[in-house]
């Protein structure tokens, strides 16, 4: 091997995260016959969020990277909370992120018969028993990490009675909560998960796939490892909270497996983001209580919310790449996510003119009725993107904030006596304004210099400010939805003494109904298209758009000079 190859080899290794390194080592050691099979195991009890995207990118991404496969398995063991609506949305979101499970679509419910058989076998081998205590009693007997638990009075029931009761539990003879099947392991184990964990509970609710076949349903710990085993999963990658479950995971798998094969569980840190919540229970509550418009409300951290907001799959994947995978829990600033979408859209979004808070600008020396077609660059970051026409007329709209009658120092925008450039058009000099009875500016006046038309030598003259504008005559009205953080505090999950709903930001959505957009934007806008509104931010066409009335979501604001100006 040459030196150069060595170096490349080294650099490639360096860029692998700790899970990739572990997988690579297993493959090199020839474990599982050199096979790599991961799985993504969502419970269909809600929509996927950005945290799930981190798991999706790991599970599918690592399979892609090392030539393996990744199963999609719905962990559908609790019919009460689950629904096909969620199954469909999860599939759609994984595809949108750019991953595919091929023909490897599975459901934990497919394994109910096999899991039942295993439970029966364990009962017969004296490894499981039916406990008739309430969940409170069972919890009380659990002990603490430093104190051993107490054996259930039902722990030593005979095998026949256990078998009979388990059968009858499933026939529906007993009420929910009256009985559970527990593994008989060790109430004094230093690992709390070994203190006779519950294997099955009674749920009398039709399952979306198995209907009324079952009245008992396996717990996560009794279903997950075995499902991995049934599918031949080699690496079961999950989040850190499952680390303490790992010995139990292996314990149950060993009831099925011989020495030659046991899926390997590996754990990484879950994603938490500032100013939002990631708990499906809380997200569901926001939806159910109408505190947001739905799972795809653009303020939600869900994949469909981010999609509707204008995020691209690439920006999400870049973000996840950037934050990486570690063994430590923490919270990531949402500004890092925003940075990723800005970076992506900077490269791909057309620049357009839209005036969000319009006020009329009249060029008093411009010929009445004249229209000139100016040329606006589509994207200065992309030399192949071309230009589009933007009509210039005597009456325009500019942003209200771009005019001040009595400005502070260093205000380089529109103010009487000062020159300013109208982007892609002319240099104009402000001459004054007209106000209404309330003192509100109604019209602004200026004069243009015909020699400064964009492209002419006169346009080279230095002026400090450049403003965007649209023609009053040719522009169209549109609605824009300006989003801000959904919560007022950095980490809502941490405020234990408060109801998380009290922490919602009341100003997280501001709707502007009289935005003015240039004709090019009006003509090209299709649902899902993304644009940069110059000097304002990135926007995406919303599904609520109608032909004669477009609706735009603000994906993210631009980091612009205005912010600095306001600070002064």
Q: Give least dist CB 337 to ligand ATP, A.
A: 13
Cα 300-302-305 angle, rounded to 5 deg? 60
* 3-state SS class at 53: helix
Instruction: Kindly report the number of other CB atoms within 10 A of residue 532's CB atom.
Output: 23
| Spatial separation of the C-alpha atoms in residues 111 and 88, rounded to whole Å | 21
- Tokens 């009329």 belong to which residue? 360
**3-state DSSP percent of the chain in helix, strand and coil, to 5:** 35, 25, 40
Backbone angles phi, psi at 212, to 5 degrees: -105, 20
**Minimum Å distance from CB 86 to ligand ATP?**
9
**DSSP secondary structure string for all residues of 247-285:** HHHHHHHHTT--TT--PEEEEEPPP-BTTS---HHHHHH
Q: Is residue 530 a contact partner of residue 542, using CB atoms and an 8 Å limit?
A: no
Name which of 83, 93, 180 is nearest 141 in CA terms.
Answer: 180
- Cβ closer to ligand ATP: 239 or 365? 239
Report the alpha-carbon angle 542-545-549, nearest 5: 135
Q: Smallest distance from the beta carbon of 321 to ligand ATP, in angstroms? A: 14
What's the alpha-carbon Rg for the chain, to the nearest Å? Answer: 31
3-class secondary-structure state, position 115: helix
Helix, strand, or coil here: 123?
Answer: helix
Contacting positions for ligand ATP (CB under 6 A): 41-43, 45, 51-52, 54-55, 75, 238-239, 270-271, 278, 280
**Shortest distance (Å) from residue 55 CB to ligand ATP:** 4
Instruction: Write the CA distances from 397 to 355, 439, 471, 475, 561, integer angstroms.
Output: 7, 19, 6, 9, 21
Backbone angles phi, psi at 477, to 5 degrees: -85, 145
Task: Name the residue nearer to ligand ATP (CB basis): 304 or 414.
Answer: 304
Q: Quote the CA–CA distance of 292 and 285 in Å, as a whole number.
A: 10
CB of 99 to ligand ATP, least distance (A): 13
CB nearer to ligand ATP: pick between 40 and 397: 40
CB nearer ligand ATP, residue 54 or residue 554: 54
278 vs 337 by CB, closer to ligand ATP: 278
Contact 90, 101 (CB under 8 A): no
What positions carry a catalytic annotation? 43, 270, 280
Work out how close the CB of 51 gets to ligand ATP at its nearest, in angstroms, rounded to a whole number.
2
3-class DSSP assignment, residue 305: helix
The residue among 271 and 396 lying less far from ligand ATP, judged by its C-beta, is: 271
Residue 91: strand, helix, or coil: helix
Kindly compute the dihedral angle of the four CA atoms of residues 315, 317, 318, 323, in this order, to the nearest 10 degrees.
130
- Closer to ligand ATP at the Cβ: 51 or 310? 51
Nearest approach in angstroms of CB 14 to ligand ATP is 24
Q: Which two tokens stand for residue 174?
A: 């007993």
Asked if 460 contacts 433 with a C-beta cutoff of 8 angstroms, the reply is: no
Q: Rounded CA gap, 163 and 121, in Å?
A: 10
Give min distance, CB of 257 to ligand ATP, in A. Answer: 21
In angstroms, give the least distance from the CB of 241 to ligand ATP: 8
Residues in the chain: 568
Whichever of 39 and 307 has its CB closer to ligand ATP, that residue is: 39
Q: Does residue 277 contact residue 285 with C-beta atoms inside 8 Å? A: no
Q: Which residue is closest to ligand ATP by CB?
A: 51
Q: Which is nearer to ligand ATP, 337 or 467 (CB)?
A: 337
Minimum distance from CB of 40 to ligand ATP (Å)?
6
- Are β-strands 69-74 and 37-40 bridged in parallel, bridged antiparallel, or unpaired? parallel
Q: In terms of CB distance, is 46 or 149 closer to ligand ATP?
A: 46
CA dist., res. 452 & res. 460, Å (int): 8
CB 169 within 8 A of CB 215: yes
Query: In the complex with ligand ATP, which residue's Cβ is closer, 93 or 479?
Result: 93
Dist CA 447 CA 394 (whole Å): 10
Residue 247, both tokens: 């010995």
User: Least distance to ligand ATP from the beta carbon of 300, Å?
Assistant: 14
């Amino acid at each position: 091997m040459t030196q150069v190859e060595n170096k490349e080899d080294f650099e490639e290794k360096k860029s692998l995260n700790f899970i990739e390194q572990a997988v690579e080592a297993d493959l090199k050691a020839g474990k599982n016959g050199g096979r790599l099979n991961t799985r993504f195991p969502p419970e269909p009890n809600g929509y996927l969020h950005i945290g799930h995207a981190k798991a999706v990118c790991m599970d599918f991404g690592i399979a892609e990277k090392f030539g393996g496969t990744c199963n999609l398995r719905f962990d559908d063991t609790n019919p009460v909370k689950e629904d096909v609506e969620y199954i469909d949305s999860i599939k759609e979101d994984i595809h949108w992120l750019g991953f595919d499970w091929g023909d490897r679509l599975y459901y934990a419910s497919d394994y109910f018969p096999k899991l039942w058989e295993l439970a029966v076998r364990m009962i017969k081998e004296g490894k499981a028993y039916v406990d008739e205590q309430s969940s409170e009693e069972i919890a009380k007997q659990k002990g603490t990490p430093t104190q051993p638990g107490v054996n259930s009075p039902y722990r030593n029931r005979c095998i026949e009675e256990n078998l009979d009761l388990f059968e009858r539990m499933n026939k529906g003879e007993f009420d929910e909560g009256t009985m559970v099947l527990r593994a008989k392991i060790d109430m004094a184990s230093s690992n709390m998960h070994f203190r006779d964990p519950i294997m099955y509970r009674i749920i009398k609710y039709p399952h979306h796939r198995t209907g009324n076949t079952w009245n008992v349903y396996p717990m996560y710990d009794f279903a997950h490892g075995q499902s991995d085993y049934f599918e031949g999963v080699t690496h079961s990658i999950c989040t850190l909270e499952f680390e303490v479950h790992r010995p139990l995971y292996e314990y149950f798998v060993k009831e099925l497996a011989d020495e030659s094969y046991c899926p390997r569980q590996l754990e990484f840190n879950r994603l938490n983001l500032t100013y939002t919540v990631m708990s499906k229970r809380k997200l569901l509550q926001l939806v159910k209580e109408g505190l947001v418009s739905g799972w795809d409300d653009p303020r939600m951290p869900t994949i469909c919310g981010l999609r509707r907001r204008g995020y691209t799959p690439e920006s999400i994947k870049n973000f996840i790449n950037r934050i990486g995978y570690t063994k430590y829990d923490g919270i990531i600033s949402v500004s890092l996510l925003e940075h990723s979408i800005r970076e992506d859209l900077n490269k791909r979004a057309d620049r357009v003119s839209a005036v969000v808070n319009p006020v009329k600008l009249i060029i008093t020396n411009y010929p009445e009725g004249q229209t000139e077609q100016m040329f606006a660059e589509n994207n200065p970051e992309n030399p192949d993107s071309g230009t589009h026409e933007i009509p210039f007329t005597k009456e325009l709209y500019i942003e209200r904030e771009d005019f001040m009658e009595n400005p502070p120092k260093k205000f380089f925008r529109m103010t009487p006596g000062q020159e300013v450039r109208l982007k892609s058009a002319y240099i104009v000099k402000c001459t004054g304004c007209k106000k209404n009875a309330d003192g509100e500016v109604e019209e602004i006046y200026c004069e243009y210099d015909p020699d400064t038309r964009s492209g002419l030598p006169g346009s080279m003259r230095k002026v400090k400010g450049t403003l965007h504008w649209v023609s009053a005559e040719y522009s169209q009205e549109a609605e824009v939805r300006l989003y801000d953080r959904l919560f007022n505090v950095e980490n809502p999950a941490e405020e234990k003494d408060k109801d998380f709903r009290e922490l919602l930001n009341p100003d997280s959505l501001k709707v502007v109904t009289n935005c003015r957009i240039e004709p090019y934007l009006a003509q090209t806008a299709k649902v899902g298209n993304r644009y940069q509104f110059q000097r304002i931010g990135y926007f995406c066409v919303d599904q609520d758009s109608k032909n004669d009335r477009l609706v735009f979501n603000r994906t993210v604001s631009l980091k612009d000079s205005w912010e600095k100006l306001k600070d002064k």
